[in-house]
Structure 1
Amino acid sequence: MRQVPRLLLTALALAGGLSACGHKDQAAEQASQPTTTATAPPAATETATAPAETSPATAAAPAAAFDITTVPVSTANLGRFPYIAGLKGFSLNTSNSKEYDFERTYVYDGKTLLAIEGKVSRRLFDAERSGENTKAVSELAIDRNFENLLKKLGAVKVWTGTIPKEAVDKIGSDEFYKHHGFGSSDNDASDTYLIRQKNKEVWVQVNSQPGGDYGIDVVEKAVMPKLTTAMPAADLKKN
Structure 2
Amino acid sequence: MNHATKKTNNRLTSLLYTGVLATCLTACSSSGKKGDTPADTTVTTTSATTSTSTAAPSISSETPGTTEVFKDFDWNTVPVSTAEIGAFPYLTAPSGFYIGEKDSYSESKTGYSTVSDFNKLFIFTGSSFYNAEGKVGKLKFRMKGDNVEWNQYKFDSSVEKYLTSIGAKLIGKMKLDDAKKKFLNKDDDMAIHNHMVGDPYNVPVRFYALNHAKGKVMFQVFSNTAEGDVGVVELAGFEQTIKAPTAAQMKKDIDATGKAILNINFDTDKSTLQPEGQKAVDEILALLKNDGSLKLAIEGHTDNAGAAAHNKMLSAARANTILKSLTSRGIATNRLTATGFGAERPLVANDSEANMARNRRVELVKK
Question: TM-score interval w.r.t. the shorter chain?
Answer: 0.5 to 0.7
Question: Which structure has the bigger radius of gyration?
Answer: 1
- What is the alpha-carbon root mean square deviation over aligned residues? 2.9
After superposition, the C-alpha distances for 1:67-110 in whole angstroms (9 at most, x for unaligned) are 22111111122211111112222232312331000002111122
After superposition, the C-alpha distances for 1:5-25 in whole angstroms (9 at most, x for unaligned) are xxxxxxxxxxxxxxxxxxxxx
Per the alignment, residue 48 of structure 1 pairs with none
Higher relative contact order (CA 8 A, sep 6+): 1
Per the alignment, residue 229 of structure 1 pairs with 243
After superposition, the C-alpha distances for 1:161-214 in whole angstroms (9 at most, x for unaligned) are 423332221122615335234256221022111001245221011101221x21
Aligned length: 177
Per the alignment, residue 144 of structure 1 pairs with 157
The one-letter code of the counterpart of 1:148 is: K
Per the alignment, residue 17 of structure 2 pairs with none
Worse-matched range after superposition: 200-209 or 83-92: 83-92
The answer on whether the counterparts of 1:183 and 1:205 sit within 8 Å (CA) in structure 2 is no
Give the 3-state SS of the residue equivalent to 1:219 in structure 2.
Answer: strand
Aligned mate of 1:88, from 88, 95, 110 = 95
The answer on whether the counterparts of 2:140 and 2:230 sit within 8 Å (CA) in structure 1 is yes
Normalized per residue, the structure richer in helix is 2
CA distance in 2, matches of 1:61, 1:210: 28
Q: In 2 relative to 1, CA 129–171 (structure 1 residues): closer, same or farther, beyond 3 Å?
A: same
Per the alignment, residue 34 of structure 1 pairs with none
Aligned mate of 2:212, from 180, 187, 197 = 197
Q: In 2 relative to 1, CA 60–85 (structure 1 residues): closer, same or farther, beyond 3 Å?
A: closer
Per the alignment, residue 133 of structure 2 pairs with 117
Aligned identity (percent) is 27
Worse-matched range after superposition: 177-186 or 213-222: 177-186
The answer on whether the counterparts of 1:124 and 1:215 sit within 8 Å (CA) in structure 2 is yes
Per the alignment, residue 35 of structure 1 pairs with none
Aligned mate of 1:134, from 122, 145, 148 = 148
TM-score (normalised: structure 2): 0.43
The answer on whether the counterparts of 2:68 and 2:179 sit within 8 Å (CA) in structure 1 is no
The answer on whether the counterparts of 2:98 and 2:144 sit within 8 Å (CA) in structure 1 is yes
TM-score (normalised: structure 1): 0.63
CA distance in 1, matches of 2:201, 2:82: 33
Give the 3-state SS of the residue equivalent to 2:210 in structure 1.
Answer: strand
1:174-213 matches, cutoff 5 A: 174-183=189-198, 185-211=200-226, 213=227
The answer on whether the counterparts of 1:89 and 1:127 sit within 8 Å (CA) in structure 2 is yes
Per the alignment, residue 73 of structure 1 pairs with 80
Q: In 2 relative to 1, CA 228–65 (structure 1 residues): closer, same or farther, beyond 3 Å?
A: closer
The one-letter code of the counterpart of 1:197 is: H
Q: In 2 relative to 1, CA 84–235 (structure 1 residues): closer, same or farther, beyond 3 Å?
A: same
Runs (5+) with no aligned partner, structure 2: 1-64, 104-112, 254-367
Give the 3-state SS of the residue equivalent to 2:81 in structure 1.
Answer: coil
CA distance in 1, matches of 2:72, 2:220: 18
